[in-house]
Structure 1
């Protein structure tokens, strides 16, 4: 497959490196010139529990002219997805599939407006932590699960071809018929830890067992579960508290991306994670005060970084 990964931060670099290592022809498009220069000069090194691997990748800060690919992967954060979709337009041909992988809810809607719903797949990555060690070098903690589904009219066979390309690269990847349900199942876990960890500086395990924040974490998850149920989303979660405790127990030392953003004084994705719950709840006449409060606190803390 000819694949363009737009946004080669930590997660995008893992995707690009593993896909290239499996024999796919990969183009990395990333605005960080130092990272791009290092990849272009010496390849992209991906390290993790399965060892260290280096892949040769065509890395650019902007897409080269006249290139059309089979698959565009938008691996940027939710706030940057509109710009990434616009940047990727020159790479899209009649049969190109666009896959967008972000935390939270809402990115698919943004991308569909720019590239068309009929070519769009939405992905979720679960239990998958990554960090940039330096220019040209990324490390991942695990590759537990990647799930892909059609946003709108994309044929199921096309989604399966995407999943197969990722499985060939060593990912636990699968096409699923109801990606929205899986997004909500992941969101229930994310709201339990994203804002509580970011605001407190504690890890997932520390929040999970904290005398005070543990109750807040569980309440945020329960509120998301209640909202999904009210919306009629087909989640397979009988007990949201059991779900988030099981999730947290698998990675107690992990720092959610929102906490990493706050440590770096960057704006996080809280608005599309915890913030998605009160927005979605309002569409069915409900309120979500726990997640609304967590979102307000996080966004207030981030205000100086927005202006920076």
Structure 2
């Protein structure tokens, strides 16, 4: 059993997790950094729009900043900020975590275990990955992907690297499951992290094209480009000692892409809006490891070069 759950990061993903948890009756608070979206949620609740279905609204308690959370009041801190903000954000929220509490990063990329361990200690930290998809459409309103609405998304939680709170993973999984967010306790979670890195190659490809997932996926050339970049991640992961089941991982990725629909990845949305991206923690981190270990990644090299030219 878990008590209060704080979702750190009031973007599309954090808002979606908070909305599902609140709708299921969990004691949840969405923690933002001020701004119009957080104010709108506080004033009139959060509107969630699934594709092809009626939107629903749910009241979600809000903390404008992490400093508004009472010390020691949070049992589970779900971290869904952008990776480049996570060190400062988690450090600011750490005092709110109870002595027996646990912080869980569901962020993209590599290195999240070290960030959490540095802020709350490795024995109070877990990492995970998720295929939940959501985007802020306007202040107080988000859209979610078809697979998320149909409860076909999947969140993996577990211990790896410096995040070692293995005994709390089942509690976190149970809370997400009860909220209609399918979840698994992954042992080891490293495989799931690298599978998500492979899945996430859709982000830089779609960002270069400034296209939705559905647009990229329905074109044979787009699908082939994603698959080649996917295979490069598998090769780099294996060089790191993470032996991915390539065919199973690709089948899972295909199901996710099939179910995502006309949805821009968060990276693509950031590129189109001229915002900072998480490229360095995702494809950039994979490319860096590839250079170190002598693994050829020509598609990564080309796509990253194009994104850098675009200012990403």
Same fold by TM-score, threshold 0.5 exceeded? yes
CA distance in 2, matches of 1:153, 1:104: 15
Note the C-alpha offset of 1:205. Answer: 3.7
Segments of structure 1 that go 5 or more residues without pairing to the other structure are 304-308
Note the C-alpha offset of 1:64. Answer: 2.1
Indicate yes or no: 2:167 matched with 1:157: yes
CA distance in 2, matches of 1:291, 1:276: 10
Check whether the contact 2:127–2:163 (CA below 8 A) recurs between aligned residues.
Answer: no
Q: Match for 1:135 among 118, 129, 139?
A: 139
CA distance in 1, matches of 2:42, 2:85: 23
Check whether the contact 1:221–1:240 (CA below 8 A) recurs between aligned residues.
Answer: no
- Secondary structure of the residue aligned to 1:275 is helix
- Quote the residue 1:286 is aligned against: 295
Single out whichever of 162-171 and 43-52 deviates more from structure 2.
Answer: 43-52
CA distance in 2, matches of 1:62, 1:74: 12
- Secondary structure of the residue aligned to 2:109 is coil
- Quote the residue 2:123 is aligned against: 118
Check whether the contact 1:150–1:179 (CA below 8 A) recurs between aligned residues.
Answer: yes
Check whether the contact 2:283–2:300 (CA below 8 A) recurs between aligned residues.
Answer: yes
Segments of structure 2 that go 5 or more residues without pairing to the other structure are none
- Quote the residue 1:70 is aligned against: 75
Task: Give me the TM-score of the superposition, normalised by structure 2.
Answer: 0.87
CA distance in 1, matches of 2:82, 2:66: 17
CA distance in 2, matches of 1:96, 1:293: 43
- Change beyond 3 A, Cα 1:203–1:46: closer
- Quote the residue 2:187 is aligned against: 177
- Change beyond 3 A, Cα 1:212–1:58: closer
Check whether the contact 1:7–1:29 (CA below 8 A) recurs between aligned residues.
Answer: yes
Check whether the contact 2:47–2:55 (CA below 8 A) recurs between aligned residues.
Answer: no
- Quote the residue 2:98 is aligned against: 93
Superposed, which structure 2 residues align to 1:1-308 within 5 Å?
A: 1-48=3-50, 49=53, 51-64=55-68, 66-68=70-72, 69-126=74-131, 128-141=132-145, 142-143=147-148, 144-151=153-160, 152=162, 154-191=164-201, 193-210=202-219, 212-238=221-247, 244-302=253-311
CA distance in 2, matches of 1:189, 1:155: 26
Check whether the contact 2:22–2:58 (CA below 8 A) recurs between aligned residues.
Answer: no
Note the C-alpha offset of 1:24. Answer: 2.1
**1:259-292 deviation per Cα after TM superposition (whole angstroms, max 9, x unaligned):** 1111111122222222122222234333423213
- Quote the residue 1:306 is aligned against: none
- Change beyond 3 A, Cα 1:228–1:56: closer
Check whether the contact 1:29–1:63 (CA below 8 A) recurs between aligned residues.
Answer: no
CA distance in 2, matches of 1:239, 1:158: 28
Note the C-alpha offset of 1:210. Answer: 4.1
Aligned length: 301
CA distance in 2, matches of 1:2, 1:95: 12
User: Root-mean-square deviation (CA), in Å?
Assistant: 2.4
Note the C-alpha offset of 1:166. Answer: 1.0
Task: Give me the TM-score of the superposition, normalised by structure 1.
Answer: 0.88
**1:121-178 deviation per Cα after TM superposition (whole angstroms, max 9, x unaligned):** 112111x221223222222123211111123463433100011011111111121112
**1:168-191 deviation per Cα after TM superposition (whole angstroms, max 9, x unaligned):** 111111211121101111211211
- Secondary structure of the residue aligned to 1:278 is helix
